[in-house]
Structure 1
Amino acid sequence: MPEIHGTGIGQGVAQGPVARMAAGLAPPSEAPSTRTPDEEKASVAEAVAAVAAELNARGERAGGSARDVLEAQAMMAEDPTLEETVHARIDQGATGEHAVHTAFAEFAEQLVALGGYLGERAADLADVAQRVIAHLRGVAAPGVPEPGHPFVLVATDLAPADTALLDLDQVLAVVTTEGGPTSHTAILAREKGIVAVVGTGQADLADGQAVIVDAENGLVIADPTDAQLADAAARAADRAAVANAPITPGALADGTAVPLLANLGSPEGAAEAIALGAEGVGLFRTEFLFLSSEEAPSVESQKSSYRQMLEAFAGRKVVVRALDAGADKPLPFLTDADEENPALGRRGIRALQHRENVLRDQLTALAQADAETDADLWVMAPMVATVDETEYFTALAKELGLKTVGVMVEVPSSAVLAEEILRTADFASIGTNDLVQYTMAADRLLGSVAHLQSPWHPAALRLIKMVADGGAANGKPVGVCGEAAADPLLAVVLVGLGVQSLSMSPSALADVRAELLTRTLDDAKRIAEAALRTANADAAKTAARGAA
């Protein structure tokens, strides 16, 4: 009964036979081309265009975050720098296949060397190369197996194009040996509610072998016993009952209200979030409007997207984060290209203050959309570190007509200064992903320091309590919009620390809602206190479970 450990995505559990992803295409021959360079270039151009069109079409069918991911992958395929490199190799006598193989591999190595978010994208680029080469060969690209029965998919990693359109009637769960909690496999699995364990390292699993995939505990059990299978089936049935339970407003067992909100990256996710019980939006990321542009979008084009989101949540709270660029999301019209450590450089509010015209246009568009709709719009600044930044953003937003203006708490300084910051800001929303990263000095996308990235760490929990206490001292609301809110037991701890609202991926709403209904506010405070008294993340989680 060997256990394979990895990072679990969500709280689900599933069981079934393994079906492994087929190996990739064999590398192209190094033999020189027998065609002219122009003929090879024309073939590559046609293949790249076909692959990009297929990726965009899959994105349109998938919708949501999957569409954004696949559109980004299509842009990778048509990157002018890659095209120049491919053409240079063809001019040196290489075939189109070999030129694509080597050029894409070289670029992927550069992304891996950069690490973080860009390093995670190397797998996406490798998938594009495989699809282009398959088109050049006239064969099908490697993809998800079709064994003819439901199965647990085991792969090195999944390309976005495959993850986005998985047949959830056939794919019971996903296990990947590579990837982390922010890989596209994880992002899309979380959005679709797929049971997944990623980053397991070597997984010695054979086709047809029975396994249990336990995302809640981050493990895969090979050749499980009858008792383990029965326990997994019972847990799966319990979760299905939770998912099908009547949707009610978020609340504790004693009636204390805890609004449950959705994290969304585009207006297209609004309908599904509402169907899953979102009471509003706790984090609307606006980067989708900017990331594929060489210049900032106009006020009018931004207003259209903001209005679409606000109309979908008429009468409900919608918290919009101003553009959060920099670090792993550089923008040519906003951020500096030559920073040695952009995660600690001009990003978030620093970048916006440096290019105030971009911020003014965004806030103007939001104010205009707000004036034309009936949602309760709240706007917050990203990566605020000082009282001065708070005062700057709040004054500018209110000058431009916005009524409720707050800050994201993502760095320790803003948590320590929360009481002072919330004398000015109308609210605070804690981004736990970055708060943990900066508190622990551990890149949240770097697997080698994953043991330091848990929001359960008492250092992070104590900072969260400081923010909640700062809100209470000023009579200002404090919420959490990081992935920590999606962990049902940690959600209880957050409420016990004084957090008043929770925002998460819509697929997590049912589990969190059910867990909150089993605890009173006194319970939550007792569980939180137990976690705070510990010295590390594992101990905090164990203590919380014991106190629960």
Structure 2
Amino acid sequence: MTASTDTTTLTGIGVSPGLVAGPVARMAPSIPEPEIETLPSGADLEEACDSVAAAALTVKKGLELSAAEAKGEGRTLLETTAQMAADPTLTSSAQAMIRERRLVPARAVWESAGTLASMLESLGGYMAERTRDVADVRDRIIAVLTDSPMPGIPRRPEPFVLVAEDLAPADTALLDPEKVVAFVTSEGGPTSHTAILARSLGIPAIVGAGAEVTDALTEGDIVLVDGTKGTITVNPSEDALRRARELASRVREFHGDGATRDGREVQLLANVGDGDGARSAAEANAMGVGLFRTEFCFLDQPEEPSIDQQVEAYKAVLEAFPGKKVVVRTLDAGADKPLPFLTDASEANPALGVRAYRTSRRDPEVLDHQLEALARAEADTEANVWVMAPMISTAEEAQAFVDKARSYGLRTAGMMIEVPSAAIMADKMFEHAEFASIGTNDLTQYVMAADRLLSSLADLSTAWQPAVLRLIKSACDGAAPHGRPVGVCGEAAADPALAVVLVGLGVASLSMTARALPDVDAVLKSVDFADCQRLAQLAIDSPTAEEARSAVRSGLPVLEELAL
């Protein structure tokens, strides 16, 4: 790999840290729009309709096979896309166009997908983000119908930096970190599924760079991607390449002893969704689980799993952490995680609707079954279960959930703080909740009134916003007189610089993807608690998110040394 003297630096939104170099490989363009053609006179319309159903089934089975080989969030994303391929809305609409307008199958699928995407986009929120799934499934079905190459990640003999307009969830789930050393997209935001999965895979990534940036990156260009700073250097210097190689050769490890330099313990925990994720987190020496996303056990289920099935799913996670804390979040169904047996996908604004704990207003038995299963799973293992409910908004809800959890024998019950009211009223909330974990993704969305999935508002969707940090401080201040611990389990916990700020605000534990543990640990061990408090004050006194981030990073020279 050689460098040129003609060096250019481009910028986007860094969402997954790391400094790597490689040649650009551009994502193959989407399947071109088929021409408007009709079937010839005498053509068998039912045979054409059957070809659409058969192609959709082929795509569904292919995605399911890929899902079976994937793990954690990647598997969930592939299963979700497979469900879209199986959605009769898409195929039946295309078949109607074949029968009524005699459209050729590929054109019928294209128009049917366009109608479905427009409907989802009009719903906003999570449903709008699913338009990317529709386009992905559309292209795959048309590829089968026209015997064209299946769209997806390019294949290259050497590792490369992937450049694309955006990545479909199915593409992101199949990324191989050994081949795709980094990726850059023109669209997307810091809390999109693409960004979250990039962090879980440990792939440096930049999103929301804009078409003018990605268009400037040509096939074969040597680029240096800094996923922390959000910069793409085209034709980097030999010195920059040498430094990137040196940093890549360093291996940082976490030894399960999270603390600041002066010995203040900070529990560094892992976010997991299933037994495989829990075992990986245990191997990474996580001090426990700070967020067990139980809905991952439900997402591929058309109906509520039995209590016995739930017990087995929960035990698979709990058994990986004998004697350690496992914080379990009850079902966070709704918005970006719809469950057909529990949520209403037709809500006008699902992010503000009947989601998470609120579903127990209509279907209390689902929560009852989950708490019973958790109690049984805890009794069969040696883990220390802490259970919390998402989307708690009032002190009455906090009390009701804690009382219900205790009625099933679950000793430690708390809540998520994702709604501004919970942070503002924290002093009253902690009269009931024994602990809380802050979900910074949703809290930021609600504080800034900015859809976390909308790439055009990505600059607002960051926990560096001083308004968000002030609410986190309010939550910690409300917990302190009651002696209740507050953790953070949102994406903010994996940002080493922001982790320092969170500890300074009073946060006692940070939960993240297991890959982020060594970096966060290294930075925390470089500062005293007083440094954390000083930097936290700088952040909440800043007028903007960018100034808060810059001020804190300037006070942490270790970040430059570690390329974080």
- Normalization by structure 2: what TM-score? 0.92
User: How much has 1:370 moved relative to structure 2?
Assistant: 1.2
1:112 aligns with 2:121: yes
**Which stretches in structure 2 are left out of the alignment for 5+ residues?**
1-6, 557-564
Change (3 A) 1:196 1:268: same
Cα distance in 1 for residues equivalent to 2:259 and 2:135: 45
Q: Paired residue for 1:208? A: 220
| Alignment partner of 1:174 out of 159, 172, 183 | 183
C-alpha offsets along residues 225-250 of structure 1, whole Å, 9 cap, x if unaligned? 3444344444x34xx52x44352321
Cα distance in 1 for residues equivalent to 2:33 and 2:478: 59
User: How much has 1:498 moved relative to structure 2?
Assistant: 0.9
- Normalization by structure 1: what TM-score? 0.94
On the 8 A contact 1:317/1:378 being kept in 2, the answer is yes
On the 8 A contact 2:177/2:201 being kept in 1, the answer is no
| Alignment partner of 1:407 out of 415, 429, 434 | 415
The correspondence of residues 389-400 of structure 1 with structure 2, limited to 5 A, is: 389-400=397-408
Q: Paired residue for 1:497? A: 505
Change (3 A) 1:7 1:18: same
On the 8 A contact 2:191/2:441 being kept in 1, the answer is no
On the 8 A contact 1:261/1:278 being kept in 2, the answer is yes
- Which range is displaced more, 106-115 or 205-214? 106-115
Size of the aligned set, in residue pairs, is 544
Cα distance in 2 for residues equivalent to 1:167 and 1:201: 24
Runs ≥4 residues deviating over 6 A? none
Change (3 A) 1:279 1:50: same
The correspondence of residues 382-531 of structure 1 with structure 2, limited to 5 A, is: 382-531=390-539
SS in 1 for 2:319: helix
Counting aligned pairs with the same residue, the percent is 50
| Alignment partner of 2:110 out of 84, 89, 101 | 101
Q: Paired residue for 1:307? A: 315
SS in 1 for 2:507: coil
- Which range is displaced more, 127-136 or 400-409? 127-136
Q: Paired residue for 1:27? A: 33
C-alpha offsets along residues 286-323 of structure 1, whole Å, 9 cap, x if unaligned? 22233444432222221121111111222211111111
- Which range is displaced more, 433-442 or 28-37? 28-37
Change (3 A) 1:439 1:74: same
Cα distance in 2 for residues equivalent to 1:497 and 1:424: 22
1:143 aligns with 2:155: no
On the 8 A contact 1:526/1:547 being kept in 2, the answer is no
C-alpha offsets along residues 440-464 of structure 1, whole Å, 9 cap, x if unaligned? 2222122232222221122111211
Instruction: Name the amino acid aligned to 2:132.
Output: A
On the 8 A contact 2:24/2:217 being kept in 1, the answer is yes
Instruction: Name the amino acid aligned to 1:381.
Output: A
User: How much has 1:174 moved relative to structure 2?
Assistant: 0.9
C-alpha offsets along residues 458-517 of structure 1, whole Å, 9 cap, x if unaligned? 211121112112222111111111111000011011111111110011221111011111
SS in 1 for 2:47: helix
Change (3 A) 1:331 1:145: closer
- Which range is displaced more, 163-172 or 510-519? 163-172
User: How much has 1:332 moved relative to structure 2?
Assistant: 4.5
| Alignment partner of 1:18 out of 7, 19, 24 | 24
Instruction: Name the amino acid aligned to 2:140.
Output: R
Cα distance in 2 for residues equivalent to 1:281 and 1:78: 34
Backbone CA RMSD of aligned residues: 1.9
Change (3 A) 1:185 1:438: closer
User: How much has 1:351 moved relative to structure 2?
Assistant: 2.0
**Which stretches in structure 1 are left out of the alignment for 5+ residues?**
none
On the 8 A contact 2:152/2:171 being kept in 1, the answer is yes
Cα distance in 2 for residues equivalent to 1:523 and 1:269: 33
Change (3 A) 1:22 1:36: same
Cα distance in 2 for residues equivalent to 1:230 and 1:139: 41
On the 8 A contact 1:10/1:508 being kept in 2, the answer is no
SS in 2 for 1:8: strand
User: How much has 1:47 moved relative to structure 2?
Assistant: 1.6
Change (3 A) 1:281 1:201: same
1:547 aligns with 2:555: yes
Cα distance in 2 for residues equivalent to 1:442 and 1:519: 33
Cα distance in 1 for residues equivalent to 2:302 and 2:70: 26
User: How much has 1:338 moved relative to structure 2?
Assistant: 5.4
Cα distance in 2 for residues equivalent to 1:70 and 1:331: 16
Change (3 A) 1:115 1:228: farther
Q: Paired residue for 1:3? A: 9
